Structure 1
Amino acid sequence: MLGAVQLGILAACIVLFVPMGMAGWHLSRNKVLFFSGALFITLAVGVHLTPYFPSISDFVSSFSSSVVVETRDSCISFLHDIVFDVKPVESWNSNISSSDYEVSWGWAKSSPVIACEFQKLGRSDASDLLNGSWVVVAGDSQARFVALSLLNLVLDSDGLESVKDDLFKRHSDYRMVIAEIGMKLDFIWAPYATNLTDLMMEFKRKRNYPDVLVMGSGLWHMLHVTNASDYGVSLQRLRSAVLSLVPISSQFDMDGPVTGSVSIRSPHLFWLGMPMLINSMLNTEEKREKMSSAARNAYDREISDSKLLRQFGGPLLLLDIQSLSRNCGSWCTVDGMHYDGAVYEAAVHIVLNALLIESHQKL
């Protein structure tokens, strides 16, 4: 008695080969039509027979899955493909006209970016993603603007107005719990890399660390210390502190064994890069002198040499504020250092989309 596989093959041959063979005979006078018909027959037979051969089905499904996963992971490298649209907005006051600028942003329309399906998350989706999370943003004024953009996304307008004054108290920390989603946000004033190292050590001492950590430094060191080599040494110490704190994958280049891991769950780590500095727009002579292009390039080299960033074998994913601010342009800043809120909003959405990718989620 014929088995199920044999019956399937016989049925496929009768249903497909007989009518298709007859059609192919009639089409043989036209080579293009003949080969088109032959290709269609081959594909049709393959589709009908594949379910009867589990090994083939498994291979096809596993191959498709691997392509999807590989493509999804590679999307990290396209997260910063963002374009800005800056439009002048005319305003009138006492018969005097002045121009402000309205800034919007979005991901580029290239094929890889479209395939990655990056999303601008609304309040509801962002709240769902960050539900129950502890988020720490640490650094200087750039980090403070990132914290503000994150709060702007998850809070309503009334809630945001109530925290702005406290968040922007000069050189101070800020902590907030959003009870509705169980999210805790800590902004830590840490303008120097040594401050960030101390923060890592505090996490280690308390045997607790955040789910998401965004941190960065450099501007204050460039202005007040003005020594790129010293900055590089402090970054090396920071890297060692990060590696000693969290569970680290073997992909990271380490000089010695990693100890002190306090959980099997590793936090999502981001490095907040320095913005593009427009020297002529900096608001003091000291800044224009010390924060030159040459100084900026020297500090950038120290960041790459420190192997702190994932692209150089380190644990932190770069939030490239320099790239974002350059794409936005000089119209997006009034002091050559701090940029329109759209730049920091884009940075927050890069973080959120990176979280979706790394946690294999899709809203």
Structure 2
Amino acid sequence: MMLGTVQLGVLAACIVLFVPMGMAGWHLSRNKMLFFSGALFISLAVGVHLSPYFPSITDFISSSSSSSSSSSFPSSHSGNDRDSCLPLLHEIYFDIEQVRSINGSLYYLKSWGWPQSGAVSDCGFQKLGRSHASDLLNGSWLVVAGDSQARLVALALLNLVLDSERMDAVRSDLFKRHSNYQIVVSDIGMKLDFIWAPFVSNLTDLMAEFKQYTSYPDVLVMGSGLWHMLHLHNASDYRISMEYLKGSIMSLMQMSPELGDDRAVSGSPPFFWLGMPMLLNSMLNTEEKRERMNDAAFFAYEAELRRSKILRESGGPLLLLDIHSLTRDCGKRCTEDGIHYAAMVYNAAIQIMLNALVIESHQKL
């Protein structure tokens, strides 16, 4: 504002000084030139004194520039689109084409994207590249907790922000069986913790640990259910565990005045629930899995998850990353064991999460 006032004053001075001189160059009489100069000076003085009572030009310019400027991202969401765009994040398509190589073997070319027409297109979802993702996650602490599905999500996230050379080292450490993993991406100040937590009770304990140390991550992605289905096979017990987890999350969100019930419901800080994948029973590699991890069991567990009211859609604190819909749409050609799917699925989940973060924070994409 101060800068705009100074610039306006300099402009006025230039007009007062140079316009009369220019008119003198056109051979106006001395009296006419003095009269014009005095009239112009008086007009500008009156304008300066009256300007506080009218909208400021600098305010207008400032407002226009702020509304028209964009961040480093390619397109934008408006704040009013938040409620309408979030449910559309999972409306993606997979394009899988069988190709024959030069030596005669067959392989699949896989890609995915959001539709380029209709309501989804209007939301302007974007696949963020490394630069944009790094800008969005700069200085953040991310925690991904759960079973092998969560580990694949952590891998997809790191693959987005790290170069190929660093990823080679990450893969061997991240996939040490049933272990935690931590990495700091120093060039963007991002820290990621993967927490091995195959049961819901492990996630509840993690929430208690966050609360004990009065700290919580900027972004939390967690999911559990496959191990419970296989080893306990009790959907009602799963719901009870989820209700305990919901209580611990709400308690964590209320540990400071900045995180009350209203913000917990609106999803701030951004906490995500990682849904279970589509289970292809015939491809499972053990008899026990084929017996217990079938469609009936999945839908029973899914129903109890909804009954727990832990998801945002039912007033809970967690925004769903619907791995089931992604794996269903990708299909049988995207998995080799009926549980774990191609990297493309988890890459899509990460992009859904990042776009949700942009919408939730009212930033521009």
TM-score by length of 1: 0.76
**Structure 2 residue 332 is matched with structure 1 residue 322:** no
Q: Which residue of structure 2 lines up, in the alignment, with residue 114 of structure 1?
A: 121
- The whole-number CA distance in structure 2 between the counterparts of 1:204 and 1:92 is 57
Counterpart contact for 2:79–2:359, Cα < 8 Å: no
**Structure 2 residue 120 is matched with structure 1 residue 86:** no
Count of residues in correspondence between the two structures: 287
Q: Which residue of structure 2 lines up, in the alignment, with residue 347 of structure 1?
A: 349
- Structure showing greater radius of gyration is 2
TM-score by length of 2: 0.75
- Unaligned stretches of 5+ in structure 1? 1-53, 55-60, 62-66, 254-264
User: Aligned to 2:80, which of 49, 70, 77?
Assistant: 70
For the residue of structure 2 that corresponds to 1:342, the secondary structure is helix
User: Aligned to 2:262, which of 242, 250, 253?
Assistant: 250
- Unaligned stretches of 5+ in structure 2? 1-54, 56-62, 64-76, 254-258
Q: Which residue of structure 1 lines up, in the alignment, with residue 273 of structure 2?
A: 271
- Per the TM alignment, residue 92 of structure 1 is displaced from its structure 2 partner at its CA by 6.1
Counterpart contact for 1:73–1:358, Cα < 8 Å: no
Counterpart contact for 1:251–1:313, Cα < 8 Å: no
Amino acid aligned to 1:134: W
* Cα gap change, 1:302 to 1:119, in 2 (>3 Å): same
For the residue of structure 1 that corresponds to 2:203, the secondary structure is helix
Q: Which residue of structure 2 lines up, in the alignment, with residue 131 of structure 1?
A: 138
Counterpart contact for 2:133–2:160, Cα < 8 Å: yes
Q: Which residue of structure 2 lines up, in the alignment, with residue 257 of structure 1?
A: none
Q: Deviations over 1:203-246 (max 9, x none)?
A: 00000000000000000000011111111111010000000001
* Cα gap change, 1:251 to 1:339, in 2 (>3 Å): same
Amino acid aligned to 1:131: N
- The whole-number CA distance in structure 1 between the counterparts of 2:319 and 2:222 is 10
Counterpart contact for 2:78–2:362, Cα < 8 Å: no
Amino acid aligned to 1:317: L
Counterpart contact for 1:142–1:338, Cα < 8 Å: yes
Counterpart contact for 2:94–2:113, Cα < 8 Å: yes
User: Aligned to 1:162, which of 169, 174, 186?
Assistant: 169
Q: Which residue of structure 2 lines up, in the alignment, with residue 33 of structure 1?
A: none
- The whole-number CA distance in structure 2 between the counterparts of 1:134 and 1:92 is 46
Q: Which residue of structure 1 lines up, in the alignment, with residue 24 of structure 2?
A: none
User: Aligned to 2:209, which of 184, 198, 202?
Assistant: 202
For the residue of structure 1 that corresponds to 2:351, the secondary structure is helix
- Per the TM alignment, residue 74 of structure 1 is displaced from its structure 2 partner at its CA by 1.6
Pairing of 1:1-363 with structure 2 (within 5 A): 68-91=78-101, 97-246=104-253, 247-250=259-262, 266-363=268-365
Q: Deviations over 1:111-163 (max 9, x none)?
A: 11111000100100000000000000000000000000000000000011111
Counterpart contact for 1:252–1:313, Cα < 8 Å: no
For the residue of structure 2 that corresponds to 1:207, the secondary structure is coil
For the residue of structure 1 that corresponds to 2:233, the secondary structure is coil
Q: Deviations over 1:43-73 (max 9, x none)?
A: xxxxxxxxxxx9xxxxxx9xxxxx9532244
Counterpart contact for 1:86–1:103, Cα < 8 Å: yes
Counterpart contact for 2:250–2:261, Cα < 8 Å: no
Q: Which residue of structure 1 lines up, in the alignment, with residue 73 of structure 2?
A: none
